[in-house]
């Protein structure tokens, strides 16, 4: 009897060794549903965010993270300890402003430690935002450099001019986030389709009401640079968009 058991054990070990570390794809955890639902457009902020998975997850390492439209981490959470099966993750959401959000999940299967990632999006109060008229009080803004059509060298120095208070018209630095942006708008610099929202600390004063932001190195070729004031919530342009095409010489 004893030798028979040993044979079974050795047989199992042999089978495992043959399989190696590879695990079948069907054992990966997948998102079953979420609250808010993927793509949901809410009129009010949710009190929590929940995500249900197809199987039990490891408590350690599995995570749910909430990002705003700037890809800034707003809140994070993990396995809901109140659900015994450990297949639900949860974020006790902080007070969320109107805007677009993305929830990224990292789920580690409890049975085989296989990680899987995914995400879903939702928005709050965006329907109302769309119909909101643009802000009346927008300070003047000019794009001084690069000049339209001018050849430029890397890195590219973008110079803007505004009489406005730049500290109140830019993203707050670091942890300050958008808390100091009482003006309701902030500076956007667009290079082709890439958005920069430089905080005041990243702007160099290069003259009265003139501020420089250095970008790059950019790939050689023609790039379109745009500067404008953007709404703090929608990040859409408020007021005129100033555009310059410049040829970067590598």
Which positions touch Cu ion (CB under 5 A)? 197, 230, 235
Q: Which is nearer to Cu ion, 23 or 215 (CB)?
A: 215
Q: How far is the CB of 226 from Cu ion (least distance, A)?
A: 13
Q: How far is the CB of 96 from Cu ion (least distance, A)?
A: 17
Host H or E run for residue 31: strand 31-35
Q: How far is the CB of 215 from Cu ion (least distance, A)?
A: 16
Q: Which is nearer to Cu ion, 187 or 248 (CB)?
A: 187
Q: Which residue is nearest to Cu ion (CB)?
A: 235
Let me know if 54 is exposed, middle or buried by CB neighbors in 10 A (0-12, 13-18, 19+): middle
* DSSP of 103-163: EEEEEEBTTT--EEEEEEEEEESHHHHHHSPPPS-----EEEESPTT-EE-SSEEEEEE-S
| Listed residue (199, 201, 196, 205) closest to 223, CA to CA | 196
Q: Which is nearer to Cu ion, 28 or 168 (CB)?
A: 168
Q: How far is the CB of 230 from Cu ion (least distance, A)?
A: 5
Q: Which residues contact 112 (CB under 8 A, 6 or more apart)?
A: 23, 27
Q: Which is nearer to Cu ion, 138 or 230 (CB)?
A: 230
């Amino acid at each position: 009897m004893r030798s028979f058991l040993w044979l079974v054990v050795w047989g199992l070990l042999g089978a495992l060794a043959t399989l190696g570390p590879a695990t079948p794809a069907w054992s990966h955890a997948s998102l079953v549903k979420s609250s808010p639902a993927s793509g949901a457009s809410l009129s009010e902020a949710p009190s929590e965010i929940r995500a249900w998975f197809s199987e039990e997850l490891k408590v350690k390492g599995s995570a749910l993270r909430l990002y705003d439209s700037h890809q800034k981490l707003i809140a994070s959470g993990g396995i809901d300890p109140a659900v015994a099966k450990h297949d639900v993750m949860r974020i006790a959401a902080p007070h969320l402003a109107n805007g677009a959000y993305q929830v990224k999940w990292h789920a580690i299967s409890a049975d085989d430690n296989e990680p899987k990632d995914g995400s879903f999006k939702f928005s709050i109060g965006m329907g109302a935002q769309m119909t909101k008229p643009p802000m009346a009080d927008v300070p003047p803004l000019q794009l001084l450099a690069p000049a339209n059509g001018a050849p430029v060298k890397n890195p590219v120095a973008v110079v803007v001019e505004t009489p406005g208070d730049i500290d109140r018209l830019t993203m707050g630095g670091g942890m300050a986030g958008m808390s100091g942006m009482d003006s309701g708008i902030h500076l956007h610099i667009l290079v082709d389709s890439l958005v920069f929202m430089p905080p005041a600390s990243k702007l160099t004063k290069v003259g009265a009401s003139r501020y420089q932001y250095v970008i790059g190195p950019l790939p050689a070729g023609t790039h379109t640079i745009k500067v404008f004031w953007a709404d703090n919530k929608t990040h859409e342009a408020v007021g005129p968009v100033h555009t310059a095409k410049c040829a970067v010489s590598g």
